[in-house]
Structure 1
Amino acid sequence: MWTVFVAEFQEERLVSRCAGVMTGASVPAEPAYRLLGPLEVAAGPAGPRVVPPGRQQTVLATLLLAANRVVGIDQLIDAIWYDNPPVTARTQVQICVSGLRTTLAGLGPDGGPAIVTQSPGYLLRLAEGQLDVAVFTALVDEADTLSAAGELDAAALALQRALALWRGPALSGTTSRTLQTRASQLDEKRLNAIEAHVDLQLRRGRHHQVITEVGALVDQHPLRERLRGQLMLALYRSGRQAEALEVYRSGRELLIDQLGLEPGDELRALESAILAGDSRLHLGTESAQSPPRLPEPEIGPYQLPGDIGDFTGHADLLDRAERMLSAQARPDQRAVRVLVLVGKPGAGKSVFAVHLAHRLREAHFPDGQLYADLGGTRTEPVTPADVLGRFLRALGIPGSALPDGVDERAEMFRSLLAHKKVLVVLDDAQSENHLRLLMPGSPTCAVLVTSRARLTGLPGAQVSDVDVLAPEESLSLLTKVVGAERVDAEPAAAQALVRLVGGLPLALRIVAARLAARPRWSLAWMLERLADERRRLDELAHGEMMVRASLALSYDGLPPDARKLLALLSGPAEGSFPIWVAAAVLDADPFDAADLLELLVDVQLLEIVAIDLDGSPRYKFHDIIRLYAREQAERNEPEAERRAALERVGAGWLALAEEAHRRIYGGDYTVLHGNGARRKPAQSYVDQVLADPGGWLDAERANLRDAVGQLADAGMHEQAWDLAVSLVALYETRCYFEDWELTHRRALAAAQAAGNRRGAAALVCSLGSLHLSRSRPGAAELVESALTVFTELGDREGQALAGRNLALLDLAAGAGAAAMDRLRQAGEDFRAARDPIGQAHVLALQAQLAWDGGAEEQALAQLREALAMCQGIGARRVEVQVRYRLSWMMGKRGEIEQARDLLTGLLDVVRETGDLEGEARILHRLGSMNARLGAGGTAIRLLRKAVLVRELMLDGDGAAQVRAELEAVAERFGLTVDDGELPEVPRPGRSGPGTPLPSRRSP
């Protein structure tokens, strides 16, 4: 039904939206202040400036309606409270004005203040074209002048431009009596303009086209005689005399019934003329058949917000997006090009989209650019009907001609854009359904969408992620805003600021804006203010830019169980985490938890950063989002529930750490355990991720370290120490000595504070082992203090572990007899504790003492017994250590080739398991043996590799020892240390899966 309107208005587009002239003055694409509809204040790509409803809107509207004139405080009081003001009325008005000054900052002429104080009240400074009411009035006046001069087409265009400013009833939503009166006056002016426009259409011979429009208007305003007369005339000129007379009769009946009045003189005269077939009612032939036409405008609607002068980063994405959207439509192409930009809150999607649109507009979309903020993250998003109404007005359709139905509006929109090169930018879309009616139908058009959801259900759409800025891009943006001089003066602080905001553009812009606003602040002072996590979100606010508010839009739109998960995860999930952590947090089924995690990913509050060892996704917070989620947890989740969630997650890590230890040692051997809660994930998951215990440690290293600290800080001391000591075998094999010490120190402080003697003793004993393995002083004191507690508590496993470590210290000091006594007691304690691997350790050490004492056969027998124990249990790691000792003894007996062959077989095992310590020792020994056998080149190759492995382990002393032997071998054979091919050293999976290493307590 709307094709006739489309045909008409295609020739009368709103040229003024881009470069129109209003009495010689430039008319902005969108006036900054809008009263012709709900009150709005618009400014830039960030969208409208929000003016709180109620008193502030009443004050602003009153000042705007008297723009550039002083409005007394008493007038403002009357507008707000009418005849019943409170005693604090003047103070409340002052507070309102203060708030408005902040909201309107920079909107005054030349960027100055918008509101100034001037006795006896306030004055709102307004530049020409900033207020839609003023623009509307000027355009109506211009139309009157043009019409009087006979320039009917130009007059019609001016009225179209005027009516396109209306978004609904003037000041809709206001409760002020004073403003309601002014709004009614404005609405009347709108109707007058509509009637004037219809008159022009009739004078231009377009009576066929206006019938539907005017008929709808008569239904809405049945008592307006001018509209009724216009409808009668249009029908008569279209050959529908009977219908024209029926319109008159129905109007007459309505007037008599409701008002007791007859129609006016003009309407009665028109009826008489129609009845008489008066020829004066017809237009001349030339006017009726060939109405003057305006030339097709060269420039279409231009609604894009202003570009960002300091736009930074995303160069590759910009190039890809530009190629995709600017591609010329092929003859066989039928679909419109659609690009969806997704990203987390504050990632700069809108800024990116506007910048991209400006790059594309002139060369690729000369027929216009349409822009709409859909408000998808707000409580009530903008409806497709409202958006289409705005687009149609921008394309030249008067508000009075807009269809009521959204489907009809969409139909008209597609018709208007047929074969046109128009770019449509839809910012902050909520869902696919939010967009479907807003899609053009022509492949010559393109659509650019931003959303926090991926919108993969939108047919034909390509989805691209707007990620956070890279460190160098972040530094570049900071430099552009703050200035190179300040950044160059404090490079370390600048780098730290960039790291602290994690490349989030909104957060970075806030930091930069605050520094720019305070030129005497140092970057180091800003850094110090941001360093406290509890204050960071408070600091990340400047004017209307607020990280917290941006995140709240996404968080508030979540269902309750997703909000709960996000909040509770913020405590235990500091790094990337697997699905079972979310299940533990909610005490829920893993598949249910996974569904909620994916929902959080969809709205960009979590991201998938890796694939877990079982093939499932791993998730992660952006640091700033995690801080916001933690705020919500503290505000909305009871402390008992937060503690329970942390305890369940800790129980999961403890169960996995224990199982990893068992797979290395064949059981719960050579380790102490407490009574902390356990929560084992699904067995299928455990079997997959712990097929390689060392690789699991590499993947979860940060999480395990954090878990110990979180449990300790929460006072869950039993779980904390239990988890820490359960990780020792993994830390030792992977050479994560810093983690070993850090976790133990954190857990020890908690255990001691709680009076947990056994837990504290276990940690102290383990720290003694660390000091021993790293040749640090103080090991003996630590182990002896632990032994004292274990003895008092009657803990045989603890006594055995402490005794064995003290024996190692005696061996290092050359006190063989004392070491033998301690080993004998440790062996008895291990037997009492039913720990065969502990016994195997003791037997291996006793074998070494026997060998040193000349009892070679006894030593070999003890090693064979230890080997049998390890093989019976499946403790492969300890088996490698025992076989290594056996090879060493064979070499001492002169059985060099047999010892070398045994070591070569062991090298395959340690390489397979990623055992760096074992590989370093075996490579060193193999190099020495090959040198003794005369294979100099092979010896050099093996020794060089041993040096590299030691360096990888950060073992400088060990590397120096091997390097000295390498140089001696090279000199002996007349070679250089670089001779021989050097295979690549396999590194453990510090960024992925890996395998365990042997203890340094054996040679």
Structure 2
Amino acid sequence: MAASADYDGSDVTAAPFRVLGPLEVSGKLGAVYVAPGRQEIVLGALVLELNRVVETTYLVDVIWTHDPPKTARTQVQICVSRLRKALADGGVDATIETRAHGYILRAPEGATDVGDFHRLVTEAHALARDGLKAPAVDALRRAIGLWRGRCLAGVPSEVLAGTAAQLDESRLEAVETRMRLELELGRHEHLVGELQQLVAGHPLRERLRGHLMLALFRSGRQAEALDAYHQGRALLTEELGLDPGRELRDLAQAILTDDADLALAEPAEPHSLVVTPLPEGGQERGADPNPVVTPRQLPADIGDLVADDVIVAAVCDAVTVGRERGQLNVVVVLGGPGIGKSTLARHVAHRLAAGYFPDGQLYCDLRGPGGQPVGSAEALGRFLRALGVPGQAIPDGLDERAKMYRSLLADRRILVLLDDAVSESQVMPLLPGTGSSGVLVTSRGQLTALPGTRRFDLEPLDQEQAVQLLGRIIGEHRVEGEREAARALIRLVGGLPLALRIIGARLAARPHWSLTSMWHRLENEHRRLDELAYGELSIRASLSLSYDGLAAADRRLLCLLSLAEGTEIPSWLGAALIDDRTPNPADLLEPLIDRRLLDITATDQGGEFRCGLSQIVRTFAHERLPLEIPEAERAGAVRRMVGGWMALAERAHKEIYGGAYTIVTGRGERWHPPEEHVRRCLRDPLGWLESERTNLLNAVELAARSGLDELCWELATTLVTLFEARGYPELWERTHQVALTAVQEAGNERGQAAVLGSLGTLHLHRGEYEAAGPYLSAALEIFERIGELSGQALCLRDLARIERHHGNDDRALALYESAERNFVRAQDVIGRAYVLGEMANITMRRADFARTRSYLDEALGICRSAGFDRGQALALRRLGQMQTYQHQYEAAERTLLEVLAMVRASGDLVGAGYVLHDLGRVNAHLRRVGQAVQYYSQSARIRERILDHSGAAAVRADIVAILGRPKTSVG
């Protein structure tokens, strides 16, 4: 979408490389011509990775999505050579440098409009956080004004299209943010027209629709606001079978009830800590005027702290609230290694010391030197000495020391800071007996048994906070000069404050180092922990404290978890790695969660929690893996892990199809999670496959790398259940190419045939009939040689589709009949039902409706008996098509609407695309032009979404045809 005229971006100097629209390049001599096609693609890829190496293999992939020629690398070199000449001839301040494995476009950081866009958006967010909303809106207007259309419009690369789509999404997010800020500034009346245009262009974006509803409501147009909501709800229901999200529903309810909370609020004052002034002289009445000793043990506060102001204020309030009632406040700050617990606690302690705790502050690092926990008795001895008790007067026993300690603190206002506590038993004796004092504890564990505590869990710094921290350490000018490199560094360490401090310290000590060079040092995962050390600061040392405190079994489990490559770890996976058959596998992960080495990230469909292993912890655990676990045990763990994914994927397929139908099974070793857990997870089997998609894809690739070729091809082909229903042809191809390489290297004939046959089906799915034939023929030859009936049946079924596509119906029927016989011999009833449906398609076109009905009734009965909903929908769709052939258009519409409800309920996008096309044709026959176009448009959008471009083209041809007819009626 072109930017509006008021977004002129006039204060941003035009960058020499512009991709926010059609690719454009300019230099000192004006516009630079870049040849369309391959040169555009190569330059687009280099610009998007400015000042970063782009591998030659990646450039080959972005140019040739399928089957690159043998001369691909040579052609890339030619493109680069011509681009170098074009840039030099045009006077562009940039060079393309050759690296060992690729190329790097070297140019100033501000050389792209993408960089300008991100800089302005970041500036806007910073201004908004500071309450400067009007300048933030102006910055966002300038950022949005950089866009000249769709990112990389006209550049013919499917791979780059994915990156471009993400950038287009960033533009829409910036638009949404600007709208929100303008609404907060009270500009609602001026926004209505623009928001109506945006919602019309992006009708499924609920945030934009919410902004429109609020702008209409605040403009006194309550009825129109509710109408905008109902239009959106109808569209979501019709297009996707979904209801609006909770946020939009709540907004509609608030508008309906004229909720006062929707009125324009005055800007809130920033939260600040209120410190009650003490009476003159700094003491409250009744305090001891001559304390023997006033301890001041707090370590120094840190000058460059970056933390969430809301969290800091909340911790301060928690420590101080209720003191006038004599209530002891114990506040615990929790988090994993390097998260910044101690830094935040020290800052809070300094902030409160003078105003609330003038009688002193006690401090003890309870972890102790070398990571050995400090005993409670030893800590009390230190505190008693700090409070003025002579060494010879300190009791020997823990109980006596605790009593003396509580007596000394009874009427005093002292803050006790206990850093890095290991357990509740360590902390309990160190608590004062009265509420005049306060206690602030940091810990890597949970400490849930401490009575009356307030607990605060710290999270890693977000992107902007992390950038701010780096800027404070090394200077904002260095960060601004390499903004993208700074963000890349932050992503590598997951926003971990300790890691960022180490990076900052190293860069500050070496002003000649760039942030990019630091990123290259950290990019090597094997050396990352070595690089994350400076002076006394060390990520490895920090993690070792938590790791060494684990039991041996928990250390082994953490190391094995580093073998799992997904961002989320399901609760059963730990049990698979160590081959533990406990009925509650989640319990095995609890010690690692308690130590903050695993983070709870979500809850799965079965109600079990899911964990995340941060990149830093994963690197540390992977480094320890060969030291803790022999190679044979590691191999067994990988085999069980992949076997667990295979068992669950296979079970999901069976739940969907009613059995192990329409698939070739192998002999890979399964590892079965507890049955109760499996039942809970697979209540929605297709939904489970979707939710675990990333983990399942990783498992296919891990199996290939680990020499588990049998599991690799089985898992890849089983996942076609997901790829086919939800429209993931690119994942289908990716997993199968990995599996094909694995089985070919292993000489696995059965696996080769299964993967080749499935690739043939993929080509048919894409409408590439000529490409499908060789795959299917090769697979059939192997299946016949080894006597695999299911495989033969599947190949014959798909070869029949090719014949049918070419109009050879007699040949197709013969192949379908052969496939049916093989499915019967293999006892594959669903495979047979599918073939019956395809035979019905041929006899229907021949107007042999009695035979067609017979085929369809039998197929429908089989699918209903097996509980295969997708098969029922397919058979009913054929029935609706037959009714269309018979000119029974009203009956056909009823049948197809039933099918549409079925496929939407199951989340079958592919099926929805086909049925919507059928409904469009039926309504075209009924002369309901408007309704037909609506169905056609929905079908085309879905087919584009699942990358079925030929199918989308066919639908659009039907739209053109119907709009060209005389319009007798519109319904």
- TM-score scaled to structure 1, two decimals? 0.64
Retained in 2: the 8 A contact 1:377–1:553?
no
- Tell me whether 1:792 sits opposite 2:785 in the alignment: yes
The verdict on how the C-alpha distance between 1:604 and 1:814 changes in structure 2, with shifts beyond 3 A counting, is same
| More deviation, 814-823/966-975 | 966-975
Once the two structures are TM-superposed, the CA of residue 589 in structure 1 deviates from its matched residue by 2.8
The offset of 1:310, in angstroms, is 1.6
Secondary structure (helix, strand or coil) at the match of 1:747 reads helix
> Are 2:682 and 1:690 equivalent residues in the alignment?
yes
Is 2:413 the counterpart of 1:434? no
Matched residues in 1 for 2:947 and 2:751: separation?
A: 30
Q: Distance in 2 between matches of 1:765 and 1:510?
A: 53
What amino acid maps onto 1:496 in structure 2?
A
Match of 2:616 in 1: 624
The residue number in structure 2 matching 1:562 is 554
**1:973–1:817 distance in 2 versus 1, CA, 3 Å:** closer
Q: How far off its partner does 1:951 sit?
A: 5.1
Moved more, 504-513 or 700-709: 504-513
Deviations, residues 301-345 of structure 1 (Å, cap 9, x unaligned): 222111222211333321211221132524xx3431011111111
Structure 2 counterpart SS, 1:878: helix
The residue correspondences of 1:916-927 to structure 2 (distance < 5 A) are: 916-927=909-920
Equivalence for 2:451: 459
Q: 1:339 aligns with which of 320, 328, 331?
A: 331
Q: Residue 972 of structure 1: CA displacement?
A: 7.7
In 2, Cα distance between equivalents of 1:299 and 1:589:
59
| AA in 1 matched with 2:567 | G
* Partner Cα distance (2:314, 2:847) in 1: 76
1:304 touches 1:369 (CA, 8 Å); kept in 2? Answer: yes
Structure 1 CA distance for aligned equivalents of residues 804 and 488 of structure 2: 48
**Would you say the 8 A contact 1:758–1:790 is kept in 2?**
yes
Deviation at 1:926, TM superposition (A): 2.8
Q: Is the 8 A contact 2:779 2:795 kept in 1?
A: yes
8 Å Cα contact 1:370/1:391 also seen in 2: yes
2:318 is matched by which residue type in structure 1?
M
Question: Are 2:534 and 1:524 aligned?
Answer: no
CA distance in structure 1 between the aligned counterparts of 2:965 and 2:439, rounded to whole angstroms: 75
Selected match of 1:476 from 468, 475, 498: 468
User: Is the counterpart of residue 910 in structure 1 residue 903 in structure 2?
Assistant: yes
1:525 CA drift (Å): 2.4
Following superposition, the deviation at residue 827 of structure 1 comes to 2.5
Using the TM superposition, give the Cα deviation of residue 818 of structure 1 relative to its aligned residue in structure 2, in angstroms. Answer: 3.8
Larger Rg: 1
Distance 2:595 2:852 in 1: 66
Partner residue in 2 for 1:175: none
Q: TM-score, normalised by structure 2?
A: 0.67
Which of 895, 902, 925 lines up with 2:888 in the alignment?
Answer: 895
TM alignment of 1:265-664, pairs within 5 A:
296=290, 300-330=294-324, 333-375=325-367, 379-572=371-564, 574-591=566-583, 593-664=585-656
Q: CA deviation at 1:973?
A: 10
Write out per-residue CA displacement over residues 760-783 of structure 1, whole angstroms, 9 at most, x where no aligned residue.
221122122222212357322222
Aligned partner (choices 837, 847, 851) of residue 844 of structure 1 = 837
Number of equivalent positions? 684
Cα offsets for 1:573-598 (capped at 9, x unmatched): 63322222211222213346433311
Deviation, structure 1 residue 802: 1.8
Contact 1:569 1:585 in 2 (8 A): yes
The 3-state SS of whatever aligns with 1:459 is coil
CA gap of 1:904–1:588, structure 2 versus 1, over 3 A, is same
Counterpart-to-counterpart distance in 2, 1:895 and 1:580: 53
C-alpha displacement of 1:965: 5.4
Matches within 5 A, 1:813-962: 813-930=806-923, 932-933=925-926, 938-939=931-932, 942-943=935-936, 945-950=938-943, 952-955=945-948, 958=951, 962=955
Q: Which sections of structure 1, spanning at least 5 residues, go unmatched?
A: 1-292, 981-1003
Distance 1:538 1:886, change over 3 A: same
C-alpha separation in 2, matches of 1:336 and 1:857: 85
Give yes or no for contact 1:298–1:367 (8 Å, CA) kept in 2. no
- 1: CA distance, partners of 2:932 / 2:919: 7
- 1:104-123 aligned at under 5 Å gives the runs none
CA distance, structure 2, for counterparts of residue 299 and residue 945 of structure 1 = 79
Q: Please tell me whether the aligned partners of residues 377 and 557 of structure 1 are also in contact (alpha carbons under 8 angstroms).
A: no
Secondary structure in 2 aligned to 1:371?
Answer: strand
- Per-residue Cα deviation, 1:839-881 (whole angstroms, up to 9, x for no partner): 2222222222223334333333322232233223322211211
Q: Can you list the C-alpha shifts for 1:773-814, whole angstroms capped at 9, x where unaligned?
A: 123573222222222222222322222212222222333334
Listed one character per residue, the Cα deviations across residues 25-71 of structure 1 (whole Å, up to 9, x for unaligned) are xxxxxxxxxxxxxxxxxxxxxxxxxxxxxxxxxxxxxxxxxxxxxxx
Does the aligned pair in 1 maintain the 2:292–2:388 contact within 8 Å? no
Report the residue type matching 2:438 in the other structure: A
Q: Which residue of structure 2 lines up, in the alignment, with residue 805 of structure 1? A: 798
Residues 582 and 590, structure 1, Cα contact 8 Å, conserved in 2: no
CA distance in 2, matches of 1:975, 1:528: 67
Could you list the per-position Cα deviations for residues 950-999 of structure 1 after superposition, in whole angstroms to 9, with x for gaps in the alignment?
Answer: 455455555565567568778989999xx99xxxxxxxxxxxxxxxxxxx
State the distance in 2 between where 1:936 and 1:422 align.
81
Task: Report the residue type matching 1:797 in the other structure.
Answer: S
Q: Is the 8 A contact 1:423 1:447 kept in 2?
A: yes
| More contact order relative to length (CA 8 Å, sep ≥ 6) | 1
Listed as ranges, the matches of 1:45-84 within 5 Å are none
Moved more, 500-509 or 530-539: 530-539
SS in structure 2 of the partner of residue 511 of structure 1: helix
Q: Deviations over 1:471-492 (max 9, x none)?
A: 2222222232233333333333
Residue 756 (structure 2) pairs with residue 764 (structure 1)? yes
Decide whether the 8 Å contact of 1:863 with 1:882 is kept in 2: yes
Q: Distance in 2 between matches of 1:488 and 1:960?
A: 46
User: In the alignment, is the contact (CA less than 8 A) between 1:453 and 1:603 conserved in 2?
Assistant: yes
Structure 1 residues 730-739 or 923-932, which shifts more? 923-932
- Secondary structure at 2:426's aligned position in 1? coil
Residue identity matched to 1:752: Q
Whether 2:700 is the aligned partner of 1:705: answer no
Matches of 1:972 and 1:621 in 2, distance apart?
60
Runs of 5+ unmatched residues, structure 2: 1-286
Q: Secondary structure at the match of 1:613?
A: coil
Q: Secondary structure at the match of 1:575?
A: coil
Which stretch of the first structure deviates more once superposed, 622-631 or 852-861? 852-861
Matched residue type, 1:862 = Y
CA pair 789-482 structure 1, distance change in 2 beyond 3 A? farther
Give, in angstroms, the shift of residue 913 of structure 1: 1.4
Alignment partners' CA distance in 2, 1:623 and 1:507: 12
Q: CA deviation at 1:529?
A: 2.2
Cα RMSD (Å): 2.8
Quote the offset at 1:821 in angstroms: 3.6
Asked if structure 2 preserves the Cα contact closer than 8 Å seen for 1:299 and 1:366, the reply is: no
Report if aligned partners of 2:725, 2:910 keep a CA contact under 8 Å in 1: yes
Residues of 2 paired with 1:301 and 1:937: CA distance? Answer: 82
Report the alpha carbon displacement of residue 347 of structure 1 after superposing the two structures with TM: 1.1
Distance 2:664 2:956 in 1: 38
Q: Per-residue deviation at 1:712?
A: 1.3
The C-alpha deviation readout for 1:67-87, integer Å capped at 9, x for no partner, is xxxxxxxxxxxxxxxxxxxxx
Tell me how far 1:937 sits from its aligned partner: 5.9
1:161-310 equivalences in 2 (<5 Å) = 296=290, 300-310=294-304
**Residue of structure 2 equivalent to 1:730:** 722
SS class of match (1:455): coil
The SS at the match of 1:433 is helix
